[in-house]
A and B are shown apart, each in its own frame.
Chain A
Amino acid sequence: MKTTENHEMDLLLRSLGRRASARPGDEASLQSDGASGAHLDADELNCYAEGVVTTAERARYTKHLADCASCRRIVADLVPAAGVARRYEVTEEKTGWSLRESLAALFAPSFLRFALPALVLTAIIGITIVALRRQQQTDFVAQNQTPTSTAVSGNSEGRKVTTDNISQSAGSPEQQQPPADVKEKDLSRSQKSDVVAPRVSPPDTAASADRVTTGLVQPGQSGAVAKSQPTFADQPTEAAAPPPPPRAGLEDASKIGEARNAQAEAESQKRRRDYDYSQRREQNEVARPSSAKGGPSRNDSQNVGGLSSVMSRSNKDEKAAGNAAESRRVSGRVFHRQGNTWIDSDYASGRATVNVSRGSEQYRALTADEPGIRAIAEQLGGEVIVIWKGTAYRIR
């Protein structure tokens, strides 16, 4: 139908409506052929307005309402107040697709045309992020471990490192296996310096003894060795081989005794260091909120992340405090703030809502019937989504 024809009919109907409302008797001429019958009683009008009628009843009432101005007027007053639940049901009917319809809509070409590229793009972005994160993690491990070993090996008590490794090397060969990536990095460094022997080698007691004999692991020289080989402390190199067994042909017994003393001292220092570390870690765990507890962070385990862990903890505390400030409990219900809207904790996202404007007749009727909603709306202010008797109301 053309727009002009539509407009002409609209004008004609408006004119007819004005005349009929000015002369109520005129409406009788517009009635259908059948008699509209007696007026609907209050109960029937209410049932129609609230939408609790069957199809047959609805047809009967509609027929009467189409021809009865007074009943129509009452229903028009009832629906904004009492018809909120009815409109909600209508919305639900529209959204209530069957499984087959939902699947058909999901695989419709019009939907797939946009969904597939979006899905592929999302997957690419996800994979890229995961790959980048992994790479960063690898870098962090290397950065964290290198300074540590350097710092330790740079200690003036260089023999401590040596003896540590000696004591570690006394364990099983499996315990001597460092992490694969660390091994590879250190291997490259070892190859460059041409000092370290092949990575995994059986404890060569003879070679160790020779080095002890030649002074390679002399306490006084261990610092220099460590400096030239930053990863020495972590590497199961020949320096980390088991301590040489006492040999009858050992020339300098006093050196062996000194080495044993150094080993004992190193062990005691290691225990002290472990004890200090465990103490600090316990303090960190106590200070950390329960929600933030998890496995020890990489920084914690490396014992270099004191400041960053404290900062991250303070950030988490602030976030938790912010969340607490964004929630309110009103009339026994918990509301969370999202933007300018207070949302009932029972509200499921995407659920159909009945929109009610503050100050409207519908709002007055609703709050008159349900004073609890008024209390919530007035205490929270602004836009509020509240679940009330199974219906979600959005009060603006």
Chain B
Amino acid sequence: MNRKAEETEKALAAAAARLMARASDNYSVSAVTLAPRIRAAVEKYLFRDNAEASIADVNDFVDKLQADDLCLIVACEQGSDKAWTDLVERFGATVRSAARSVSANDEGADDLAQSIWAELHGLRVRADGKPASKLAYYSGRGSLAGWLRAVVGQLAVDQHRKQSRLVQTEDDADFDRLIQKDKQPWSGHAERINPEIEVSHKQASADLQKALAGSIGHLSDEDRLLVKLYYFDGLKLHEAGAILGVHEATASRRLTRIHADLRSQVEESLKEEHGWTRPETERAFSDIALHMEADIEPLLVSEPMIKNKREMTG
């Protein structure tokens, strides 16, 4: 072991002692037990991006860890009944709340919450005979409540994937309908236009969509994330801004700039790959936008109006 590694080990041992001193209740966890956990967190987060991190950086990192939460989790791993009681009492409501937000009903939320507690206890057994609990993955860097929410979210996604493989969901039915719809470009207008024009429009639409998709892929990560959050995930601007750590107004300005960037990139792409002129591109944009507005209008009509229409026609 070289000198740097020795110094790091000493610093980690000292930091573990400081962390235990900071905790309001350390559940009699020893510094020896805590040190490997802290080392794992330092290696995962600090040394990954900065292998030459100084001792001061290590101390700073460890001193920002959540002392109470980390001691509680390590004590739970050690099998402390008191720690488990405290964990369930303090975070039972958090787990229920998280499960409720990702479940369709209370029954599903209760099932999910139970699954979480089972995962935390550890359903499998490790090589050393101890249960393989998810608790081993909590680093103490963020809050324990947030980590539990993330675990609930991951478990919900896993369960959804498993169910999706088995059940033909309503989404799939919608998907099939959309496919059928996609096969009819310019729906609603197709019957009236010339077949040649129809083919031409279909090709133009496909080229435009492809160019747009390619342009989105070339956006910066932050911009691409904003586009995905807003247009693909259906979040509101303030919600997307919160994820990016910016104000709603900033997110809005960014989106406007992204629109301009995407448009210029799409125009450039169509010009290079398909030889489109600028007027052709502009006409294609306006035609497709007009067509999409026409497509959206029926969606905005309320259910009673549709019913009345059917009654009148039928």
User: Which residues on A are within 8 Å of B, measured CB to CB?
Assistant: 1, 4-17, 19-23, 27, 29-33, 41-43, 45-47, 49-52, 54, 56-57, 59, 62-63, 65-67, 69-70, 72-83, 86-87, 90, 94, 361, 364-365, 368-369, 371
CA gap between A13 and B222 in the complex, in Å: 17
CA gap between A94 and B234 in the complex, in Å: 27
- Given known A82-B142, A82-B145, contact A46–B150 (CB-CB < 8 A): yes
Q: Count how many chain B residues have C-beta atoms less than 8 Å from C-beta atoms of the other chain.
A: 70
Contacts of B151 in A (CB 8 A): 42
Are A76 and B97 interface neighbours, CB within 8 A? no
CA gap between A73 and B208 in the complex, in Å: 28
Partner of A56, one of B49, B94, B171: B49
Q: Confirm or deny: B63 has a beta carbon within 8 angstroms of a beta carbon on chain A.
A: no
Residue of chain A at shortest CB distance from B215: A30
Q: Confirm or deny: B269 has a beta carbon within 8 angstroms of a beta carbon on chain A.
A: no
Contacts of A30 in B (CB 8 A): 213, 216-217, 224, 228
Residue of chain B at shortest CB distance from A370: B145
CA gap between A41 and B136 in the complex, in Å: 12
Q: Confirm or deny: B207 has a beta carbon within 8 angstroms of a beta carbon on chain A.
A: no
26 A-B pairs, CB-CB below 8 angstroms? A5-B260, A6-B260, A8-B286, A12-B212, A12-B289, A12-B292, A13-B231, A13-B262, A14-B231, A17-B231, A21-B234, A29-B217, A43-B138, A43-B139, A46-B149, A54-B45, A57-B45, A66-B224, A66-B228, A78-B149, A79-B243, A80-B242, A81-B98, A90-B245, A90-B247, A364-B101
Q: Confirm or deny: B102 has a beta carbon within 8 angstroms of a beta carbon on chain A.
A: yes
- Given known A1-B260, A73-B233, A76-B239, contact A43–B142 (CB-CB < 8 A): yes
Are B221 and A82 interface neighbours, CB within 8 A? no
Contacts of A14 in B (CB 8 A): 231, 292
Q: Confirm or deny: B146 has a beta carbon within 8 angstroms of a beta carbon on chain A.
A: yes
> Min CB distance, B34 to chain A, in Å?
17
> Min CB distance, A350 to chain B, in Å?
18
CA gap between A63 and B219 in the complex, in Å: 11
Contacts of B239 in A (CB 8 A): 76, 79-80
Chain A: interface secondary structure? Answer: helix
- Given known A75-B243, A78-B149, contact A15–B228 (CB-CB < 8 A): no
Q: Confirm or deny: B13 has a beta carbon within 8 angstroms of a beta carbon on chain A.
A: no
CA gap between A346 and B153 in the complex, in Å: 36
Residue of chain B at shortest CB distance from A8: B289
> Min CB distance, A58 to chain B, in Å?
9
> Min CB distance, B197 to chain A, in Å?
20
Are A82 and B233 interface neighbours, CB within 8 A? no
Q: Confirm or deny: B8 has a beta carbon within 8 angstroms of a beta carbon on chain A.
A: no
Are A54 and B49 interface neighbours, CB within 8 A? yes
CA gap between A87 and B263 in the complex, in Å: 32
Within 8 A of A (CB), among B216-248: 216-219, 221-222, 224-225, 227-229, 231-235, 239, 242-243, 245-247
- Given known A12-B292, A57-B45, contact A42–B147 (CB-CB < 8 A): yes
Beyond A6-B259, A369-B145, 20 extra complex contacts between A and B, CB < 8 Å: A5-B260, A9-B259, A12-B289, A14-B292, A16-B212, A16-B231, A22-B175, A22-B178, A27-B232, A30-B216, A31-B217, A32-B218, A32-B224, A43-B147, A47-B45, A49-B146, A63-B221, A74-B154, A81-B98, A364-B97
CA gap between A80 and B236 in the complex, in Å: 12
Contacts of B288 in A (CB 8 A): 8, 11-12
CA gap between A8 and B212 in the complex, in Å: 12
CA gap between A226 and B288 in the complex, in Å: 106
CA gap between A21 and B234 in the complex, in Å: 9
Residue of chain A at shortest CB distance from B225: A66
CA gap between A75 and B256 in the complex, in Å: 24
Contacts of A69 in B (CB 8 A): 228, 232-233
